[in-house]
Amino acid sequence: MPTALITGATSGIGAAFARRLAAEGFSLVLVSRDEHRLAGAAGQLKLRYGVSSEVLPADLATEEGLARVESRLAEGVDVLVNNAGFGNPGRFPDVPVEDEVRMLKVHCEAVLRLTLAALPGMRERERGAIINVASVAAFFPRGTYSASKAWVVNFSESAAADVGDPRIRIMALCPGFVRTEFHRRSGMDTAGIPGFLWLKADDVVRAAMRDLALGRRVSVPDPRYKAIVAIGRLVPRGLQARVSAAIGR
């Protein structure tokens, strides 16, 4: 039975990946900071899909947590979903530097190290997939969050090119606004975000798995966001920043 490891697996996009991969017959390794929620999620997946779920509590902003997940990946997985992430309330440079560094550790260092930990087994078996969850914000200047997600996109494309094996797929997933716990937990005001921009996590994952199967290295789910990214490339960066600030992260 193939195995998938998912970080940030107890809610939102991570939980949607867990449901999708469980339905496809994967055994799961669920990673999150909250051991109680992990156990609950594993139980629900077992009840609904009949798959086994290993729970792996780990804080990816700590050396101990990263090392724990690296060790599990070294045992071998078929799919890695680097989904863990968060946003800081406030704007640069008002956010405390320790909070900014914590974000970079989760969004960048963890993605780098967990990808490197998963690749040797995938290359040995000559198959595997890594999905690094970024954001449409990666294509627009909007503080440290968008900068870190831009790194994820560039890294994923570069890693896929360097690995150079079509049987090992590495893809950056760039959703827009998704109805999850993300904004509430980050203390962000979503009142200014137009309703038509919101996506459902299950729809995002469905699009991601389709794009992965097609061998795409960057996935932007939903035609609305594809259009936004395409138009954004034609707009001066200064105007991009003002529009982004007006509608939120």
CA distance 140 to 147: 9
CA distance 118 to 129: 9
Token pair recorded at residue 155 = 């890294």
Q: How far is CA 148 from CA 140, 168, 169, 220, 221, in A?
A: 11, 24, 21, 17, 19
Token pair recorded at residue 11 = 């809610």
Token pair recorded at residue 239 = 């105007």
Instruction: Quickly list H helices, 56-171.
Output: 63-74, 97-104, 110-125, 143-163
Is the separation of the CB atoms in 112 and 155 below 8 Å?
yes
Active site residue 145: yes
CA distance 120 to 73: 9
Closest among 64, 71, 84, 62 to 13, alpha carbons compared: 84
Closest among 93, 96, 108 to 143, alpha carbons compared: 93
**Active-site residue, selected from the candidate residues 17, 49, 139, 145:** 145
Is the separation of the CB atoms in 184 and 203 below 8 Å?
no
CA distance 37 to 54: 13
Give the position of tokens 């690094």.
132
The catalytic residue positions are 145
